[in-house]
Structure 1
Amino acid sequence: MVTETDAAASAALDRAAAAFEGGRIQMGIDELSVALRGFTDAGDVRRSAVACARLGLAFEAFVGNRAAARVWFGRADRLLRDVPDCLEQGWVAIAGLGCDVDDPSELRARAGLALDRARRFGDVDLEAKALADGGLACVQAGEVADGMLMLDEAIALWCGPAGDRDAASMGVCSFFTACYYSAEFDRASHWVDDLRRVGLIGAAPGSQIFLRSHCSAVQATALIELGRWGEAESLLTSSLAEFEGCMPIPSWHPAIALADLRIRQGLLADAEALLVGKDAHMQALLPLARLHLARGDVALALATASRGLRMVGSDRLRGVELLALVAEGELAASRVEAARDACDQLMERAHGLDVPRLRAKACRAQALVLAASGDLAEAIRTMEIALDAVRVGLPVLRVELFVGLVGLHEQAGNRAAATVEAARATSVLAGLDVALPASERALLERFARTTRPTGTTASLTREGAVWSVSCEGVRSRLPATKGLRYLAELVRAPGVERHVLDLVDVVEGVVIDGPDRHRLGDAGELLDAVARRDYRRRIEQLRTEIEDALDHGADARAEALQQECDELVGHLAAAFGLAGRSRTASSAAERARLNVTRSVRTAVARIGADLPAAGSVLDRRIRTGLYCAFEPAAEDQVRWIVHS
């Protein structure tokens, strides 16, 4: 018999679902709390557990508070621990998003329990969700073929008899995540039309737009790998705008994919703005670690990657990428033995893995470690093995490997072989819409230039406390001002946009052994380059401490640490004009724009006074503002270069 209390609690549960579907997160949490109190008062342990599990999902997926989510998931598990086998145990086991369960061994165990309950009690909706999460776990563990078959079966059920929209949206998210990490882009495209037909993907607020944005992120990732960066950028920016235009919460999957593209483009401040506040979740950790490494903050990159490795446990796919980054970071810090250890772990995870992209990345990392160890012949052979793994498709990765070969041949003194590989890289690049880092572009130019540039060459050369500027036999020595250093950063990477905060970080950043706690918490919008680095390091430290506290059952400490972390994330977001705050005159970005513009224009004027023709090119081609760039044109009679 259904009591009045049960009916009221059930109605609150329905209202919560409707609130979340419309993006009204706090209302949804409030209604779940009402439902939980009602089921508890009625003595309904099973439905109380379901309400707890849904609160865990809300805090994890919508609020980003892993500490609170763990508390609610743990309570749901405890409520059902001594209950006879029932369907609710299955739903609680896989209540969260499969892609938010970091360790695939845990996800596999939970999905296995849910699948057992689903088939014993005849619940096709639970069966489909269990198949999706179990398939994702298999893929992450390296069993790609078996995992994808399970995911295909789950999608088929949602396109047929399974009708639970909430479970379907979470399961399809697991499917897209598996396609993303295993580079099964064609498989994702195969199911998109069917998912649209049954209304799981669309433009409506809630699960439809969420899955549509996730699908766009996977499609854009494929475009990035294919070297169609302009198309990928257009798709991701429109997906972001579409999502945030109908949902009152920040976009997730397209924001992370766009951040990855921005890192590749060298737009590091843009990437950080997209990732701020998302670093509690595994999907954002790899691009975040790449961002720190691109900035030269090796210690922070390694700390972020190490946290990721701890979170993913036995995950082979994400483990390979994280360990490759660790090896690269250790090499950047000249710790060859540590890089070799990371590479040994990497090759162990990659052994037998049927994902060509990851096999190639593993071999590339091994080649770099071999080169650093002095075994250039074996390094070259290993880099060639990496190229063999991606003979078809993935042209951006092929260019990266070709460039690696050019560098190895140059180190070995084999100019002829370097020239051949540079020509191959240049040939592939000709059909791509990508931007190479300045160092890689310079390496190819040393070996693949077919025609000498016409006109005159002007150069900027750092000589201790001064800069030497020369052109056509005229040489001028200028003091090493910030403006000249900003200018040199732009000229050494022609065509690459740089956010002013990136320039400030490079020129004014100070390497710090640890955060100065006295500077944190009250800097607000006035964050300078040093303070932003303090914040990044303290946030990473807090993330690790939160994981430690949760692992040891110290829930209260985890909550306190989470609160401090959220406050710091808010301050860091404000520096980029995020979280609904505009870039006011006092913001870090605006102050940097004014200072960098003034300094660069002063430096250009000083150069123009001594070298009028060369200076006039800089005056026309240097673009300043929030984004700065040096944009030379083919008709320029003076070609600028920088000697470090």
Structure 2
Amino acid sequence: MATEPEAHASAAKFTAMAAFDEGDIQGGMDQLSADVRRFAASGDPRQAAMACARLGWAFETFGGNRAAARAWFHRAARLLEDEPECVEQGWVALAGLGCDVDDPHELLRRAQLALDRARRFGDVDLEAKALADGGLAQVQAGNLVEGMSMLDEAVALWCGPAEDQDAAGMGVCSFFTACYYAAAFDRAGHWLDDLRRVGLVGPAPGGQVFLSGHCDAVQATALMELGRWAEAEAVLTRAVAEFEACMPLASWHPAIALADLRTRQGRLAEAEALLLGKEAHMQALLPAARLHLARGDTDLAIATASRGLRMVGPDVLRAVELLAILTDAELAAGHVEAARQACSFMTERATGLAVPRLAALAGAGEARVLAAEGGLVGAITAMEQAVDALPVGLPVMKVSLGLELARLHERAGNRAAAQVEAGRAASVLAWLDVTLPPGDLELLGRLAYGKTAAQTATLRCEQDAWAVELNGVRIRLAHTKGLRYLATLMASPGVERHVLDLVDQIEGVVRDGPDRHRLGDAGELLDGTARQAYRRRVEQLRDEVEDLLALGEDERAAQLQEECDELVAQLAAAFGLSGRSRRAASAAERARLNVTRSVRTAIARIRDDVPEAGEVLDRRVRTGLYCAFEPDPSDPVRWVVHS
């Protein structure tokens, strides 16, 4: 038995968790560290183990430091090795969030041990946590019916006799995670009112707002799949704002889901900024791999997806997603044999899986590989089966795969069939609020809409003015910095430029003057090449950390984690994310304000005289810390620059 009265142990836990709920992260960790020392000194290994376990959870949850968390979890387990069977062994087995345990077999093993201790010692709170984590493990392993049944039982306990709000918060996180990966969006909504009723989901700081954001991320993902992107964006931006208004931390689940939406929208720089520092965790690894692929960085997409596959082990649901990315990345890199191997593994894991979206991913991957191998007939058949198997609840995927099918028919020389498939996709698309990639828009315009060629507008730099021409209308505009910034962006469509690079190019660099890239509070600016090198090194370090943790070399893993954290901080500074708010004295912030104002003023001048051409610029020129001109094939006006 413990030598410390149970009431004292409960009070110690309450003090630490209250600090976390109030946003005092360091205070909570200091309290837990003091608890470890105090319980160890008093000869109470069970409560010392519990404090160690909570400290590991804090390192993982608030610091993202898996190496430090693993060390504390191991210490907690060691403290209980010589103890007779006790309920604390169950709590230590499930010390962290279930969604942070990557291997579902390992999570299930821990959950079964915890469930045994919970029922043997009559701890309903531990029983609910064990059911939730065990249910998540079953879902991830592909046993959806059994897993969801366990999760429903866990949530029912939290809405009834279970009282530990902290354990419930971690367990409900497992429930929402399972709903997300299994696309069981209705199930999450079914329990939402009850979870609000018992105070687990809500706006209060701490677990409430964290779970509220997680629930919002699941609901927004459902809206994305339904093609209601504006609604999804509104849900996520509100969730991010609500979390960061009451917690001194960056939002987690809503930010990751918003990054996924930004990638779908083609707003890749914003997606990367939202994911920075989170990619070590599986929840963010999948969106990060998709981002690398969308950016065209096949090497990084392959490396990230491969790391994820090693982390999840025998997992089924997440493995299919990762293998789909790996297949597409290998194809994009021209590695057809490697793509075939990845696709075969994906088909094997997806076989018999009752998740339509994942089955369609596997079918579409098979079609793409067959097409790359030269088997167009087989590719068309595989893609047709993937499209036909999709339910009406996945219209965005139906449009995307339908357009791929149209493209395959066109490659095979069957234009009539291509037009039919493009027309079907267009009829579904008419009801959706989504952004399609330029290639899909071009295909629709050619096969389904029969659009006439866009008008061409020109922006030309003359000796004493800028000239804009469209359909015989010619206007002249006085030279301004805004027009020069605008012309520079339009000369390289789709290329991001940092505002300081724009300023240096247009205004010139003063000889022996201060380097604007080093002014302000964000540190030295990273150019595109440097950012790419940093991304690759961060991914390499994350991979090495995972390998070292698997080998039990926690100390070396912690050292590499520190190096990784430093690089992530420098990348964050490059995106202007080094603090919760920008400082007015920052050189980059001044440049952002000035360039944005100048470019928008220039566009407004063009729009006054040639509205249709100016409206295209208004929509397609993105300003901010990174600026770009991102034209779309569907635009009614195509811009050409002569500078």
TM class by smaller structure: 0.7 to 0.9
What's 2:464 paired with? none
What's 2:623 paired with? 625
User: Alpha carbons of 1:618 and 1:440: their partners in 2 closer, same or farther (altered >3 Å)?
Assistant: closer
Could you tell me how far 1:3 is from its partner in structure 2? 5.8
User: Alpha carbons of 1:199 and 1:340: their partners in 2 closer, same or farther (altered >3 Å)?
Assistant: same
Give the partner amino acid of 2:227.
G
1:94–1:130 Cα contact (<8 Å) kept? yes
Give the partner amino acid of 1:569.
V
What's 2:514 paired with? none
- 1:54 and 2:70 matched: no
What's 2:308 paired with? 308
- 1:223 and 2:227 matched: no
2:445–2:451 Cα contact (<8 Å) kept? no
User: Alpha carbons of 1:209 and 1:604: their partners in 2 closer, same or farther (altered >3 Å)?
Assistant: closer
CA shift digits 1:421-473 (9 cap, x unpaired): 111111111000000011111111110114536x844589xxxxxxxx99879
User: Alpha carbons of 1:234 and 1:615: their partners in 2 closer, same or farther (altered >3 Å)?
Assistant: closer
Cα distance between partner residues in 1 of 2:365 and 2:309: 17
Cα distance between partner residues in 1 of 2:499 and 2:300: 16
Could you tell me how far 1:391 is from its partner in structure 2? 2.8
What's 1:495 paired with? none
Could you tell me how far 1:534 is from its partner in structure 2? 1.4
What's 2:564 paired with? 565
CA shift digits 1:9-56 (9 cap, x unpaired): 654332112112222111111111111111101111111111111111
Could you tell me how far 1:361 is from its partner in structure 2? 0.8
- SS of the residue corresponding to residue 392 of structure 1 reads coil
CA shift digits 1:119-151 (9 cap, x unpaired): 111111111100000000000000111100000
- SS of the residue corresponding to residue 17 of structure 1 reads helix
CA shift digits 1:43-72 (9 cap, x unpaired): 111111111111110001111100100000
User: Alpha carbons of 1:17 and 1:622: their partners in 2 closer, same or farther (altered >3 Å)?
Assistant: closer
2:125–2:162 Cα contact (<8 Å) kept? yes
Could you tell me how far 1:159 is from its partner in structure 2? 0.7
1:576–1:583 Cα contact (<8 Å) kept? no
User: Alpha carbons of 1:247 and 1:398: their partners in 2 closer, same or farther (altered >3 Å)?
Assistant: same
Give the partner amino acid of 2:321.
E
2:499–2:591 Cα contact (<8 Å) kept? no
- 1:270 and 2:270 matched: yes
Q: 1:487 aligns with which of 462, 471, 490?
A: 490
Could you tell me how far 1:617 is from its partner in structure 2? 7.5
CA shift digits 1:566-604 (9 cap, x unpaired): 111111111122133517675668758878998999999
2:312–2:318 Cα contact (<8 Å) kept? yes
1:98–1:136 Cα contact (<8 Å) kept? yes
User: Alpha carbons of 1:556 and 1:388: their partners in 2 closer, same or farther (altered >3 Å)?
Assistant: same
Could you tell me how far 1:89 is from its partner in structure 2? 0.7
Q: How does 1:382-393 map to 2 (within 5 A)?
A: 382-393=382-393
Q: How does 1:334-349 map to 2 (within 5 A)?
A: 334-349=334-349
- SS of the residue corresponding to residue 637 of structure 2 reads strand
What's 1:527 paired with? 526
Give the partner amino acid of 1:164.
D
Could you tell me how far 1:77 is from its partner in structure 2? 1.4
1:213–1:254 Cα contact (<8 Å) kept? yes
Cα distance between partner residues in 2 of 1:128 and 1:417: 54
Give the gaps of 5 or more residues in structure 1. Answer: 461-468, 475-480, 493-497, 509-518
Cα distance between partner residues in 2 of 1:94 and 1:622: 49
- SS of the residue corresponding to residue 186 of structure 1 reads helix
What's 1:640 paired with? 638
2:2–2:46 Cα contact (<8 Å) kept? no
Root-mean-square deviation (Å): 3.5
Could you tell me how far 1:202 is from its partner in structure 2? 1.0
1:577–1:583 Cα contact (<8 Å) kept? no
What's 2:83 paired with? 83
What's 2:582 paired with? 582
Cα distance between partner residues in 2 of 1:378 and 1:642: 41
Q: Size of the alignment, in residue pairs? A: 603
Cα distance between partner residues in 2 of 1:433 and 1:157: 39
2:21–2:207 Cα contact (<8 Å) kept? yes
2:9–2:47 Cα contact (<8 Å) kept? no
Cα distance between partner residues in 1 of 2:262 and 2:331: 24
What's 1:549 paired with? 548
CA shift digits 1:176-211 (9 cap, x unpaired): 000000000000000000111111111111111111
Give the partner amino acid of 1:318.
R
- 1:44 and 2:47 matched: no
- SS of the residue corresponding to residue 157 of structure 1 reads helix
Question: TM-score scaled by structure 1?
Answer: 0.86
1:321–1:358 Cα contact (<8 Å) kept? yes
Could you tell me how far 1:6 is from its partner in structure 2? 8.1
Q: How does 1:393-412 map to 2 (within 5 A)?
A: 393-412=393-412
Q: How does 1:235-246 map to 2 (within 5 A)?
A: 235-246=235-246
What's 2:253 paired with? 253
- SS of the residue corresponding to residue 227 of structure 2 reads coil
CA shift digits 1:358-381 (9 cap, x unpaired): 000111111111100011111111
Give the partner amino acid of 2:572.
A
Question: TM-score scaled by structure 2?
Answer: 0.86
Cα distance between partner residues in 2 of 1:312 and 1:325: 15
CA shift digits 1:210-265 (9 cap, x unpaired): 11111001000000000000000000000111011111111100000000000000
User: Alpha carbons of 1:604 and 1:194: their partners in 2 closer, same or farther (altered >3 Å)?
Assistant: closer
2:158–2:168 Cα contact (<8 Å) kept? yes
Give the gaps of 5 or more residues in structure 2. Answer: 460-467, 474-483, 506-517
Q: How does 1:148-159 map to 2 (within 5 A)?
A: 148-159=148-159
What's 1:466 paired with? none
